[in-house]
Amino acid sequence: MVEHAVKEELGKRIQELRREQELTLEALADRSGVSRAMLSKIERGEKNPTVAVALKIAKALAVSLFELLGEVEERRSLVIIPENKRMVVKDPETGFERQLLSPTFEGGGVEFMRHLIPQGSSSGNLPASRQKGLEKYIVVEKGKLRVVIGADEYLLDEGDAMYYKADVMHRYENAGKGACSYYIVVSRARG
């Protein structure tokens, strides 16, 4: 799943965040909807979670997926992220790929990403945000994108943009021929 993070490091990071928040495995399982057994295997480095499972864990721990997976950058006035240094997360089951285009600052209010979905695939169901005020902005770079938000579906063509609050379960599907790529900005209310 993760190209720039080793599963053992991911497991240690999850365990560290869980303990900082004084959560038991059971409490994290309740919050995330991921079984206690699976969480235990991930923490021990025995299992590598899918993107959807990693997202559930990140949301339950109130961090972004990339904060969960990587090192948090020191806030600077200028940061350049070369293409070959981007943090990339790819789900081996679906081919769904996320590329982080912004630095991961602790408590950062914005995440800028590029997503790629192979033909006939999807992101899988992404859980509703537990974080109040989480907003998503999307613009389709290439292909056709179906965005499913709750029970509603929206079809976006190349160049189309949309905005929504991520307080319900949602999913992104490639609705065309060939790969679909789009840019997404996730904005978090600062508290």
| Burial class of residue 169, CB neighbours in 10 A (0-12, 13-18, 19+) | middle
- Does pLDDT of 166 surpass 90? no
Residue 176 is classified by DSSP as: S
Q: DSSP string spanning 28-93?
A: HHHHHS--HHHHHHHHTTS----HHHHHHHHHHTTS-HHHHHSPPBPP-S-----GGG--EEE-TT
Interval 137-146: pLDDT, tens: 999 999 999 9
Q: What is the structure's pLDDT at 81? A: 77
| Model confidence band, residue 2 (pLDDT cutoffs 50, 70, 90) | very low
Q: What is the structure's pLDDT at 108? A: 62
- Does pLDDT of 7 surpass 70? no
Structural domains of the chain ordered from first start: 7-69 (1.10.260.40), 109-187 (2.60.120.10)
CA–CA gap between residue 86 and residue 98 (Å, rounded): 10
Q: What is the structure's pLDDT at 152? A: 95
CA–CA gap between residue 168 and residue 181 (Å, rounded): 22
CA–CA gap between residue 117 and residue 138 (Å, rounded): 14
Mean of all residue pLDDT scores within the chain = 84
118 vs 42, which has greater pLDDT? 118
CA–CA gap between residue 183 and residue 161 (Å, rounded): 9
Q: What is the structure's pLDDT at 136? A: 93
Interval 120-143: pLDDT, tens: 999 988 888 777 778 999 999 999
Edge-first strand listing for the sheet containing 170-174: 152-156, 145-149, 170-174
Name residue, tokens 């290439």. 142
CA–CA gap between residue 20 and residue 138 (Å, rounded): 33
Q: What is the structure's pLDDT at 4? A: 39
- Does pLDDT of 185 surpass 90? yes
- Does pLDDT of 111 surpass 50? yes
Q: What is the structure's pLDDT at 171? A: 93
Give buried/exposed letters for 133-161 (b at 16+ CB in 10 A, else e).
ebbbebebeebbbbbbbeeeeeebeeeee
Q: What is the structure's pLDDT at 78? A: 73
Most confident of 97-101, 146-150, 165-169: 146-150
CA–CA gap between residue 168 and residue 146 (Å, rounded): 16
Interval 52-100: pLDDT, tens: 788 888 888 878 777 777 655 555 567 777 888 888 888 888 899 988 8
Rg (alpha carbons) of the chain, rounded to whole number: 16
